Amino acid sequence: MRSQILVFLDKGIQFEFNVEDAPPMAHDVARAWLDAQFTELDCEPIRASGKVLTADKVLRITQAAGEALFLNEKWAADYVRAVHAALARPMIRVDVPTMAVTY
């Protein structure tokens, strides 16, 4: 089965990444990378309780990154590896306009 991450941003901007093109990342390293990006990009929790689920973290990082970071090849490659390892699904769709992550 083919593994992909589809990213949909505002204004119809979208990116498609094939996971096989990137070397795998360990689950704990992926979570640490996502945590660091969440902090570095000054992301806010989605839920009023302040609880941050991994999918919510991915969504907020994707939203904060915008087109500029996805055009940075190194950052985009790290994002793909981290999201794939953290969510452990073959097909992941991160849709910022609808604020949804689906598998």
What is the b/e burial string over 41-63, where b = at least 16 CB atoms within 10 angstroms of the residue's CB? eebeebeeeeebebbbbbbbbbb
| Mean pLDDT of the chain, nearest integer | 94
* Amino acid 1: pLDDT: 61
Confidence of residue 38 (pLDDT cuts 50, 70, 90): very high
Assign 3-class secondary structure to 5-69.
Answer: EEEECHHHCEEEEEHHHCCCCCHHHHHHHHHHHHHHCCCCCCCCCCCCCHHHHHHHHHHHHHHHH
Is the pLDDT confidence value at 77 over 70?
A: yes
pTM for the structure as a whole: 0.93
The span from the CA of 39 to the CA of 29, in Å, is: 15
* Maximal C-alpha separation, the chain: 37
What's the pLDDT tens digit per position in 20-29?
Answer: 877 889 999 9
